[in-house]
Amino acid sequence: MKKYFLPIFVGVLLFGDTSLCAEAPDTAWTRKFKEMKIGYSVQQTQDGGYIITGSINTSESPQGMPLLKVDSLGNKEWYKTFGGKSCGYSVQQTQDDGYVMTGAVTGDVGLIKTDPLGNKEWDKTFGGTESEEGKSVQQTQDGGYIITGYTKSYGAGEYDVWLIKTDSLGEKEWDKTFGTGGYEGGKCVQQIQDGGYIITGWIDFDASGPDVWLIKTDSLGNKEWDKTFGGTNGDAGKCVQQTSDDGYVITGETRSYGEPTGDVWLIKTDSLGDKEWDKTFGCGGMGTDIGYSVQQTQDGGYVIAGENAGGILWILKTDTSGDTLWTKILGNPDGYHIGWCVQQTTDGGYIISGETSPIVPPVRELWLIKLEPDAGTEEGKLSLPNEFLLSQNSSNPFSNSTEIKFGLPEDSNVNISIYNLLGEKVATLIDEPRNAGCYTTRWDATDNSGEKLATGVYFSKLSAKSQGKTHTKTLKICLMR
């Protein structure tokens, strides 16, 4: 079990300021279920409840791919398991109010269809002589199903992305593999407005480690284009969605940018997969940070579920440009907690499925969390700050990079700079006009020439000129290499 906490910093991480212009929503309720150890996928159902699949606790009986239905308050209505040695990675309610799941069934891709009460109608497996897994499933416009995952039995290399299309009864219509001879896999697929499909996962074609892979196909699975995003270390895409402007948003993990231990990565592209912007989010090098799930929200922004510091459940909400509006941390350093999936609910709140476990005894349980709608919103619009604000940087002290948030109640000419103990300006982060609103910038602990700065105490300073007045705020920053 991975743990990267530095206990001296726990108070800053868990209880520091996590929002600036918008408050993180309150927790409406949480539920734990010992029948399952992980909730990989959750979706709100037509009746206002929730459907979850994941992995079961091996000590529980019966064994198999689990399907859990709860009501709107998280109370269990029924629970089913299917197959033998199996795991469910993705679930969706279907047009007939039943459910479809994909996952791994004894080394093959599994596809299971149930009625509204969870009774199995049919199941299918796809695979060869080697190992395969289904990671994501969606019902398609024609009533069939699209699945992505990985295959070792077919394709060009060690593992390839596998895309499978079935009819409404699970009979395979076609399948495609995408690979380079290395280690590739698909994590998420979505049918998009033109009837084709968008896939994200990872591609590993050289010694620098995997990159985020974005693949666009036509309605028959023929590749139209693909894009890779990454650097000199390992990066991977975990989830993709088409956005309201016909572009795409991806979340995952990067070790090439931000902290070398791994940061959450959010990438926004246009309709052809060309990057418009990207953001990294981390805890200042205190552990591995990963985004597992992303969804565009009702206000046009994005919500991400994942883990912070290698074992704390982390929810991040951003605006349309990927700047942080709020974050919420759930769990504590005396355990292991991950958010695997997040979805905005019809009331404007959020449902999260994941896992939780104390260190002693290390018993993992499904964790289901419902958050209230965003605080400080009215008709979907975030309220502006009523004064000039500079928030304490994330993870103070930090080791390699940190986020600095600030708020402007009115349009201003803004300068954000870093000073040393001698009062010398060592770095300028922002020097430009900004509209009223909430913003986040990142400092990578370098000076204006790009040289790394030494361990020590520094100061972030906000200077905002508006309506003939200059407003300043200063906060201490501790850099520890």
Q: What would the pLDDT profile of 201-248 be if each residue is shown by its tens digit?
A: 999 866 678 999 999 999 999 999 999 999 888 899 999 999 999 999
**Whole-angstrom distance, CA of residue 369 vs CA of residue 350:** 8
pLDDT, averaged across the chain? 88
pLDDT at 9: 29
Closest alpha carbon to 187 in 275, 102, 269: 102
User: Which residue in this structure is represented by tokens 């609103």?
Assistant: 437
> Is 400 a residue whose pLDDT tops 80?
no
Global confidence as pTM: 0.78
CATH class of the domain whose range is 25-382: mainly beta
Query: For residue range 344-361, what is the model confidence (pLDDT) as tens digits?
Result: 998 999 999 999 998 777
**Whole-angstrom distance, CA of residue 50 vs CA of residue 43:** 6
Mean pLDDT of 388-404: 77
Task: Give the three-state DSSP class for 108.
Answer: strand
- What's the pLDDT band for 384 if we cut at 50, 70, 90? low
pLDDT at 197: 98
Query: For residue range 115-127, what is the model confidence (pLDDT) as tens digits?
Result: 999 999 999 999 9
pLDDT at 131: 93
> Is 156 a residue whose pLDDT tops 60?
yes
Closest alpha carbon to 416 in 446, 453, 461: 461
pLDDT at 81: 93
Q: Which region among 18-22, 187-191, 315-319 has the lowest average model confidence (pLDDT)?
A: 18-22
Query: For residue range 128-152, what is the model confidence (pLDDT) as tens digits?
Result: 999 999 999 999 999 999 999 999 9
- What's the pLDDT band for 315 if we cut at 50, 70, 90? very high
Q: Which region among 12-26, 52-66, 80-94, 439-453 has the lowest average model confidence (pLDDT)?
A: 12-26
Task: Give the three-state DSSP class for 63.
Answer: coil
Percent of the chain with pLDDT over 70: 90
CA-to-CA dists, residue 90 to 42, 183, 404, 476, angstroms: 8, 22, 36, 45
- Name the helix (H) or strand (E) containing 12: helix 10-15
Sheet holding 197-203, edge to edge: 185-191, 197-203, 211-217, 223-229
pLDDT at 171: 98
> Is 282 a residue whose pLDDT tops 80?
yes
Closest alpha carbon to 429 in 411, 412, 441, 445: 441
CA-to-CA dists, residue 359 to 2, 283, 336, 368, angstroms: 11, 21, 7, 19
| Domain boundaries along the sequence of the chain | 25-382, 389-479
- Give 206 or 318, the one with higher predicted confidence: 318
pLDDT at 380: 39
User: Which residue in this structure is represented by tokens 């108070």?
Assistant: 11
> Is 63 a residue whose pLDDT tops 80?
no
Say if CB 105 and CB 147 are below 8 A apart. no
- What's the pLDDT band for 304 if we cut at 50, 70, 90? very high
> Is 297 a residue whose pLDDT tops 80?
yes
> Is 303 a residue whose pLDDT tops 50?
yes
CATH topology of domain 389-479: Immunoglobulin-like (2.60.40)
- For 409, residues 6+ apart whose C-beta sits below 8 A from its C-beta are 384, 385, 386, 387, 388, 436
Token digits of residue 196: 């084709």
Half-sphere exposure of 363 (CA within 13 A, CB side): 7
- What's the pLDDT band for 170 if we cut at 50, 70, 90? very high
pLDDT at 295: 95
